[in-house]
Amino acid sequence: MQEASRHLLGPEDGEFVQLTAIGVRFMIGGEATRGAFSLVEHPLPPRSLGAPLHTHRNEDEYSYVLEGRVGMQLGDGVLEAGPGDLVTKPRGVPHTFWNPGDKPARMLELISPAGFENYFREMAPLLAAADRDEAAMNEIRARYGLEMDFGTIPVLAERHGLRLG
């Protein structure tokens, strides 16, 4: 019989990495779901951008806000989600997200199918390095079918009153 505690992930448990402003806590990986989905938690500080406008080629994402407010752009539309709200981000649709408020925000991100959670693991050490290896980061993005529009960063920051850096 399996030990029940092996099926419990406490609020402080799980591997954690930092990607610039956004954190990533790994909760359920694809190995536990036979590749069906993965689940991560994203803490996001006040007035910070989660990512530039980007498009996933291989997976859908579902964002469930736990606390705070999260602004999101999906295609040309913009919305703001709060605790208990679920936002669907289909593959192929450019999107981004940010914390528009003065308090921390947290959301769960269900990724289907699984696999993209490993992008965060691979990018974290490269983003933390003093000398960033742009070629390596571009290779990782290409391997995961992720297109990013870095030119949107200053536009999003100005439009939504975000702090960068």
In order of their start, the domains of the chain are: 4-160 (2.60.120.10)
| Edge-to-edge strand ranges of the sheet holding 38-44 | 16-19, 22-28, 38-44, 105-112, 60-67, 86-89
CA triple 38-86-108, angle to 5 deg: 35
CB 47 within 8 A of CB 161: yes
**Block residue for tokens 């991560």:** 40
pLDDT at 9: 86
Task: Give the C-alpha separation, 82 to 76, whole Å.
Answer: 20
The secondary structure of residue 49, as a DSSP letter, is: B
> What string of pLDDT tens digits covers the 165 residues of the chain?
456 556 788 888 889 999 989 999 999 999 999 999 999 999 999 999 999 999 999 999 999 999 999 999 999 999 999 999 999 999 999 999 999 999 999 999 999 999 999 999 999 999 999 999 999 999 999 999 999 999 999 999 999 999 986
Place of tokens 């030990």: 3
Instruction: Report the candidate in 86, 105, 7 with the shortest Cα–Cα distance to residue 47.
Output: 105
Beta bridge partners of 1: none
Spatial separation of the C-alpha atoms in residues 161 and 70, rounded to whole Å: 13
Token pair listed for 28: 């359920």
